[in-house]
Amino acid sequence: MTIDYSIENVSVNKSFGGWHKQYNHHAKTLNCYMRFAIYLPPQASNGEKVPVLYWLSGLTCTDENFMQKSGVQRIAAELGIAIIAPDTSPRGGEVADDDSYDLGQGAGFYVNATQTPWSRHYQMYDYVVNELPQLIESTFPVSDKRAIAGHSMGGHGALTIAMLNPERYRSMSAFSPISNPINCPWGRKAFTAYLGKDQATWRNHDASELMRQAQQFVPARVDQGGADDFLVEQLKPETLAAAAKVSDYPLELHLHEGYDHSYYFIASFIEDHLRFHATHLKK
C-alpha cells in the first residue's frame, strides 16, 4: 500500500465568521489515516497567528462531537483562538479493536500502548503531544501558544498531557475528567490492556497522582456536574481536589448541581473555559 503523506481537506463550513474544517492525514505515530477538525477564528483570515486550544473528546467520540455540540465557535471567534479536535483513537479496519465501547477504537485514552495487539497503532499520547501540533503549526496560521482541554476520557488526557509537558501548554481544563483512572473501572480496564499489568507504569498517566507530586504548575480549571451518572464510580474529582491541596496546585474546581455528563453540560460552561484559557494564551 502506498501511503499518501499529504493533508487532505474533507469539509469546510463557515461558522461565526471563521471556518470549521476537517482534514485527513496519515499519522506516522499511529500508523494509520486520521481525521481531525480545526476551527479557525476570523482573526486567522486576517494574517494574524492565533493561539490554539486542543480539545480531547471522551469515549465513543470522534473529531465531530465537540465541534457540532459545544457551541465553542462563538467564543473562539470573539477571543481569536483556534480550536483543534483530534479523533479519540487510531481508526481503520487494520487497527485493533474491542467489542466494548470503553476499549479500542473510540477509546484510546491518550497513552502510548506497550502491549499486544494495541502497541502497533495506539500511540495517542505521542500523536497529541508531538505529531499533531507539528502538523498544525506548520500548516495553519497559528502561534505556538497552546492550551489543552477535554471531557471525561479527554479530560483525563488533557490534564495528564499538560502536567507531563508543562512547558508546552499555557493552561489546561477539563469537564468531568476521569480524575483517578488507576482507581476506577474505565481506567483500570484501559490501562491493563494498553500498559500491562504492572501498575507502576499507570501512575504516570493518572491526573491525581501527577497533581499530587507536581513541582511545575499549569493553571487548571475543572468543571463537574453534580447529577453526572459516572461521578462516584468513574470520575472522582474529590481525589483530584485532595491532590491539589498536597502540592498547592493552582486548580479551580467548580461543581454544578443538576448537570449531567452530556454535551448539554459542556455547552453551558464552555464559554467560561475559553475565557479562562484566553487569560493565559493572551499573555
What's the CA gap between 74 and 61, in Å, rounded?
A: 21
What residues numbered 213-242 form the site for a copy of itself, per CB under 8 A?
A: 225, 227
Q: Note whether 178 and 84 are within 8 A (CB).
A: no
Nearest distance in Å: CB 268, a copy of itself: 5
Nearest distance in Å: CB 256, a copy of itself: 8
What residues numbered 12-71 form the site for a copy of itself, per CB under 8 A?
A: 13-17, 20, 68-69, 71
What are the grid coordinates assigned to 18, written together? 471563521
Stretches 81-89, 135-143, 160-168, 262-270: which one binds a copy of itself (CB under 8 A)? 262-270
Q: Note whether 92 and 33 are within 8 A (CB).
A: yes
Inter-axis angle of helices 263-281 and 72-79, nearest 10: 10
- Cβ-based nearer residue to a copy of itself, 202 or 265: 265
What's the CA gap between 206 and 150, in Å, rounded?
A: 15
- Cβ-based nearer residue to a copy of itself, 242 or 255: 255
Active site residues: 152, 228, 261
DSSP state of 254: E
**Does residue number 88 form part of the binding site for a copy of itself (CB under 8 A)?**
no
**Does residue number 179 form part of the binding site for a copy of itself (CB under 8 A)?**
no
* DSSP state string for 132-143: HHHHHHHHSSEE
Site of interaction with a copy of itself (CB under 8 A) = 13-17, 20, 68-69, 71, 73-74, 225, 227, 256, 258-260, 262-265, 267-268
